[in-house]
Structure formats: structure tokens, C-alpha cells
Amino acid sequence: MNIIIVGCGKVGRVLTEQLNEAGNNITVVDLNGSRVTEVSERYDVMGVVGNGATHSVLMEAGIDKADLLIAVTGSDERNLLCCLIAKKAGDCQTIARVRSPQYNADAPYLKEELGLAMVINPEYAAAAEIARVLRFPSAIKIETFVKGRIELLKFRLPEDSPLCGMAVKDIAPKLHCDILVCTIERGDEVYIANGNFVFAPRDVISIIAEPKNAFTFFRKINYKAKPVNDVLIAGGGDITHYLCGLLEKSGISVTVIEKDEDRANQLSEQLSNVNVIFADAINQEVLKQENIEKKEAFVSLTNLDEENILLSLFAKSVSDAKIVTKINRIDFDEVIEHLDLDTIIYPKNITSESIVRYVRAMKKTIGTNLETLYQVIKGKVEAAEFNIRTDCELTRAPLMELNLKPGVLVAAIVRNRKVLIPRGSDTIQIGDSVVVVSDHLGLHDMNEIIR
């Protein structure tokens, strides 16, 4: 595919790297010449210096032959204008990053009227991800498939977990839970689960289950399964604005600490049911005055990664709260993962993953549609949802007779709104939605899981 990416910031760079590795022809556009040079030379892609919201620059970038334009500059208005001009100048799909809360309610209208393939709001997407884990605090991360009927939950085993020393195959007979273990992370090692694998303390495990079955499973292994009742948030930016609205609908009590007086007053006016404190959260006395020791959740959403990390480590040291930390920079993600901060949110990764998912789904397939895609373990394991459209090799035999590639797990099947955690004797049928967990990255069609 021929793809133009307007904006060479952090998201633009991640998209360039991932889409280029997937075999697409990439052209990057940015007003900053040094950025264009750096990105084009690093990833061996075409580069154009100029304003991507002008017809002449887009023509130079090859808009007349492009299949997709992605606008991820720092300006919402410029991104929308880029897409509008691209639709007029070429016959391509367009994606715009739109971040401001004032446009959020209009996103469906903008998508429809401007003919956009996608409007992505990283701050709202980050808030939605935080809200999911606060409703299920046992999990580090939660992803949903088949319109919420299936969840993939990632969690860490404490030292005293009843799962320690237990094999994967023993979960069903001993706990009577209908869940499927997908992956295990132990240090720097990653494993696709098999029945003989034995759990150890500090393992990070991902499971697939229906929400009600996940609730039962966590209750049986002595984890917190109920939503938190109250949340303390440090920082009052756009993610906080969206998050408060989502938590309010769930009946969760929220306190926000914001050090900018104007912003604090603005939040107080916009969020009538939220307790907004004008103070600096980096001050430990302020956190103690707001009873951080007794809060069930603490979310650090300031503009500085260093502050967010320190605040989260402090909250972890003085409370048993569910900890959520926002990180903007993605360069040191592997180092940050080792800090044991519980749930870490990368808004820029959420944006790039959503767009890469769409690009993968655009590609023509043999008989299955890629519907949803998540990175279970970055750069190592993906979980993908496919819709089976036609008769194919996958539908002609039970799972145990299919010659599947190693490192592939058929994790769930949804048929006629009913969720099935598959066993070897089960079959895949036309019309099914199927979730596959695999260490084979870049699957476009489910038939690719067969040797």
C-alpha cells in the first residue's frame, strides 16, 4: 500500500516504523526539514518538507497514487484540513488525529461529513483504557473483542498466589473456571501457554474469558474483582477531563489535584460532581491531606513522565491502591516496564496501534476479515479477532486436526452471540468471530496460522 504520513512527531515515527516494516510504501511530510531527514534516513522512506495541508505539498508527496493518508500533526485543524484536501486531490482513505475535547462530541459528524475512515482521539482512548482497569483493578491491562463479549486481561502473580506451582492444565478441574491462559511473561522470556506450563511468583499472565467468567476466576484466586469506589488523580489535562466523565457514569468518586489555577477552575466548572483541588501533587503533604493512604486507586496524569513515575512509586509505597501511570515518551518503555508500576498507559502507542490495526484490516484477505488487533506483548505477541466469511481450510476439520503453526493459540470463538473457549474437538464455522493469540506478527488473514 502507498501511505502518506503527515507529521513526524513521536506518533508519526512509530507509524512510519511499523507500517514500513509491514511492507508498505511510506512517504512522510512535515514542516520541519530536520525531522523529515531524520525519519526518512532512519527508516529508508520518502520524505517531503512542507505543509501537508496544502495541495501542492500533497501532490509532491504522491497523493494521486496514495491508498491512505494519516494526519498526526500537533494541530487538530491542520489534520482535518489535510484529510479534506487529500480526499479532493486523490482517491484515498484518510485518518485524522483529533485531540481537543471541544471536537470530541463532533467526531462522528466530522467522520461522516468529511468522509474520514477514522477519527482517533488518543486522550479519550487512554481515558477509556484507564476506566476499564479501574472497573477491574486486578488487571494490569484489559482489551476487548467481539463488541465486549470477550476480554483479554493481563495480571501479575503475587508471591502468595494459589496459582503458584499450579500447571495451566489444572486450572479448569481445580478452580472450575472457563478461562483460557494465553501468554506468560517471566522476566524477559515470553511463552505461549501450554497445558504443562507451571506458574511461578511474579509471572505476568494474560487470559481470555467472558467478563463474568473472568470475575469468577479472579475471585477464586483471591484477587480484587470489584470496581474501585474512589480515585485520586494527579493532573487535570484532557485525559483527566475524559476520565472523570467515564468514571462519573460508573458511580466512582473522583478527586483531582491540579497545580494550574485557571485549569483547576475550568475543571470545577465543567465537572460539577468531581472534587478539584488547586495544589501541586508532587508535594507529599498534599497527597496525604487527600488521604492517599486510603484511596482505592491513584492515577498519575501530569504532563511530565518523571513526575508521574515518582508519584506512582510514592503512592505504591504508602497505600494498597490500584496504580495507573501515564507515560508520554515511548523510547524507554522496556526500562519503565521493569519498575513494577502496575498499569502503564502510553497514549501515543494507543494511537499508533489503532491506526496500524486499520491498515492491516484494509489489506485484501482470502476468506477472513481482520476486525480487531492488540499487542499483548509489544513486538512479541499479538491478539487478533477475525470474522470467518467463507468456507476455507480452517472450517474443514476440528482444531486438533488443523496443522497450526507453533506459537499459535485459537483462544476464543463467538458463534450466534455465544462465547466458546475452544477445545481440540471444536470446529470453526462460517460466520464465527475467532480470537487468535500468536507470536507470528503481522497476520492479515487467519488462514496464515496454518503451516
- Give 446's pLDDT tier (boundaries 50, 70, 90): confident
Q: What cell numbers appear for 49 in the block?
A: 518538507
pLDDT for 367 equals 63
Distance CA 37, CA 48 (A): 9
pLDDT for 154 equals 92
Q: What cell numbers appear for 298 in the block?
A: 491513584
Name the packing angle between helices 347-362 and 122-135 (round to 10°): 100
Average pLDDT score over residue span 170-176: 90
Rg of the chain over Cα atoms, rounded to whole angstroms, equals: 23
Tens of pLDDT, residues 107-147: 888 888 888 988 999 899 999 999 999 988 888 899 888 88
pLDDT for 105 equals 82
- Give 412's pLDDT tier (boundaries 50, 70, 90): very high
φ/ψ region of 311 (left if φ > 0, alpha if ψ in -120 to 50, else beta) reads: alpha
pLDDT for 165 equals 92
Amino acid at 61: A
pLDDT for 365 equals 60
Tens of pLDDT, residues 274-328: 999 999 999 999 999 999 999 999 999 999 999 999 999 999 999 999 999 999 8
Pairing outcome for strands 46-49 and 68-71: unpaired
Question: Long-range pairs for 202-205 at CB < 8 Å and ≥24 separation?
Answer: 202/156, 202/157, 202/159, 203/156, 203/157, 204/140, 204/154, 204/155, 204/156, 204/157, 205/154, 205/155, 205/156, 205/157, 205/163, 205/181
225 has pLDDT over 90: no
Instruction: Please give the sequence-ordered ranges of beta strands (E in DSSP) within 11-124, or none if there are none.
Output: 25-30, 46-49, 68-71, 93-97, 118-120
Average pLDDT score over residue span 79-99: 92
Tens of pLDDT, residues 229-285: 999 999 999 999 999 999 988 889 999 999 999 999 999 998 888 999 999 999 999
Mean pLDDT of the chain: 90
Kindly report the number of other CB atoms within 10 A of residue 82's CB atom.
29
- Is residue 323 classed exposed, middle or buried when 0-12, 13-18 and 19+ CB atoms within 10 A define those classes? buried
Q: How far from chain centre, in Å, is Cα 341? A: 17
Q: What cell numbers appear for 430 in the block?
A: 462460517
- Is residue 135 classed exposed, middle or buried when 0-12, 13-18 and 19+ CB atoms within 10 A define those classes? middle
- H/E stretch holding 4 reads strand 2-6
Amino acid at 373: L
Tens of pLDDT, residues 6-33: 999 988 998 999 899 888 999 999 999 9
- Domains (ranges, CATH) in the chain? 2-120 (3.40.50.720), 230-350 (3.40.50.720), 355-449 (3.30.70.1450)
| Look-up of cell digits 487529500 | 86
Tens of pLDDT, residues 52-78: 999 999 999 999 999 999 999 999 999
Q: What cell numbers appear for 167 in the block?
A: 500447571
Distance CA 308, CA 430 (A): 47
pLDDT for 284 equals 92
Kindly report the number of other CB atoms within 10 A of residue 74's CB atom.
11
Full-model pTM: 0.85
pLDDT for 429 equals 92
Distance CA 86, CA 69 (A): 7
Q: What cell numbers appear for 76 in the block?
A: 487538530
pLDDT for 364 equals 60
Amino acid at 50: G
Average pLDDT score over residue span 205-226: 88
- Asked whether the beta carbons of 326 and 300 are under 8 A apart, the reply is yes
Tens of pLDDT, residues 344-397: 998 888 888 888 888 877 776 656 678 888 888 878 898 988 888 888 888 888
pLDDT for 222 equals 84
pLDDT for 366 equals 57
The residue among 445, 447, 442, 432 whose CA lies nearest residue 150 is 432
C-alpha atoms less than 13 angstroms from C-alpha of 351 in its C-beta half-sphere:
28
